[in-house]
Amino acid sequence: MLKEIFIELSTKYTDNKSLINDLWSEVEQNYSHKKRHYHTLLHLENIIHQLNDVKEKIENWDTLLFAVFYHDIVYNTLNSDNEEQSAALAESRMKQINVPSQLIDTCKAQILATKKHLDNANSDTNYFIDADLSILGQDIENYKEYSKNIRLEFLYYPSIIYNAGE
51-94: per-residue pLDDT in tens? 999 999 999 999 999 999 999 999 999 999 999 999 999 999 99
* pLDDT of amino acid 166: 62
* pLDDT of amino acid 161: 86
pTM for this model (two decimals): 0.95
Domains of the chain, earliest start first = 2-157 (1.10.1300.10)
Q: What is the DSSP string of the chain?
A: -HHHHHHHHHHTT---HHHHHHHHHHHHHHHT-TT-SSSSHHHHHHHHHHHHTTGGG-S-HHHHHHHHHHTTSS--TT-S-HHHHHHHHHHHHHHHTT--HHHHHHHHHHHHHTTT----SSHHHHHHHHHHTGGGGS-HHHHHHHHHHHHHHTTTS-HHHHGGG-
Name the band, by pLDDT with cuts 50, 70 and 90, for residue 164.
Answer: confident
Determine what percent of the chain is predicted with pLDDT higher than 90. Answer: 93
